[in-house]
Amino acid sequence: MIQDMHQSIEIIYLILSPFFKLFRHKKKKTCAFHPHRRYNLSSAFSLPSPPLPRWCSVPPSHTTGNSKKWRNFCAFLPATMATDFWTSTHYKQLLDQEDVDVVHSLDKERGITLEDFKLIKLHMTNYIVRLAQNVKVRQRVVATAVTYMRRAYTRRSMVEYDPRLVAPTCLYLASKAEESTVQARLLVFYIKKLYADEKYRYEIKEILEMEMKILEALNYYLVVFHPYRALSQLLQDAGMSDATQMIWGLINDTYKMDLILIYPPHLIALACIYVASMFKDKDNTSWFEQLRVDMNMVEKIATEILDFYDYHKTISEEKVNAAMLKLTMRM
């Protein structure tokens, strides 16, 4: 089971591996990016460039008769008009790696290590993907579901919130939040079909109850921004439309890590483009230079992605099973 879930990742790894060394080598060269320089990114991502002209900060005069002076409707409007990623709860909730990598005390008691913790989350990501393929929902729903699951486990323990229930519940909730509702009974049907293991079998009622707990764990913050947003525009802009599929796959794989909890999604997308351009041996230096983004960050994420692919080779089904077993074991 683990193996077939790893298939996509293996393929990507096989494609990528011959060039990893090349990449790491090249990376030094590309440090032409000035670390602190702000690059100017096209409108594809709503970057923190103040989206609003400052005229908005001038309050209207209610008393003066000289209305022409303020003849700009915008005088009514607050300084920040459009809500976007930068005003979103997603942005405000971005965490540091250290905060994400905290194993809940209850889980520690069961002997869950940080590696187990990550493995279980990876395993559950694969579970969500697999379930989603059966109930046929958009990738966006999968991405949101995985994000909910990972967010939930920054605050909740796996002992109390059984991942085998949390995963389908997150998919269920995400399907609603992303406007492509999947019926709970359909999920339950496929869970039964996919997993013979009793431990995976949960009923509709249990999913609905867990939904409330997940909502609470998420503090009802349901909006998630994803790296897929405007990806095609970016790729077109970079002249990399031919690599769309590969980059899409790379982005999908980033959900097997906690990147979405830590970095702004556009940087994750750019990191994937970065990895892909290295692989395609396409010199995108000048394109990246135009972007008003922190290239150090992009490179950092790219390295994390590559490290993950390296690490991924070492994962075995036994390891995952052992980690899952710790959860079930009564101390």
For 5, 29, 272, 284, 286, the CA distances from 32, given in Å and listed in that order, are 38, 7, 19, 12, 10
With CB under 8 A as the contact rule, which of the stretches 26-34, 113-121, 178-186, 285-293 interacts with other proteins? 178-186
Kindly state whether residue 106 participates in binding other proteins, applying the rule CB under 8 A. yes
Which residues between 278 and 317 bind other proteins (CB under 8 A)? none
Number of residues counted as binding other proteins (CB under 8 A):
48
d(Cα 153, Cα 165) in Å, to the nearest integer? 13
* CB 224 to other proteins: min, Å: 10
Tokens 């609470």 — which residue?
216
Residue 251 Cα to chain centre, angstroms: 8
Indicate the DSSP class of residue 71.
-
Which residues between 35 and 94 bind other proteins (CB under 8 A)? 62-63, 65, 67-68, 71-73, 76-78, 81-83, 87-89
Which residues between 11 and 40 bind other proteins (CB under 8 A)? none
Structure tokens at 51: 């989206």
Contacts with 256 (C-beta within 8 Å, 6 or more apart), sequence order: 9, 122, 125, 126, 308, 312
With CB under 8 A as the contact rule, which of the stretches 11-19, 105-113, 135-143, 305-313 interacts with other proteins? 105-113
* CB 292 to other proteins: min, Å: 22
Are the beta carbons of 171 and 180 closer than 8 angstroms?
A: no
Which residues between 187 and 226 bind other proteins (CB under 8 A)? 205-209, 211-213, 215-217, 219-223
Work out the burial of residue 63: count CB atoms within 10 Å of its CB; fewer than 13 is exposed, 13-18 middle, 19 or more buried: exposed
Binding site for other proteins (CB under 8 A): 62-63, 65, 67-68, 71-73, 76-78, 81-83, 87-89, 105-106, 109, 155, 159-162, 172-173, 176-177, 181, 183-184, 205-209, 211-213, 215-217, 219-223
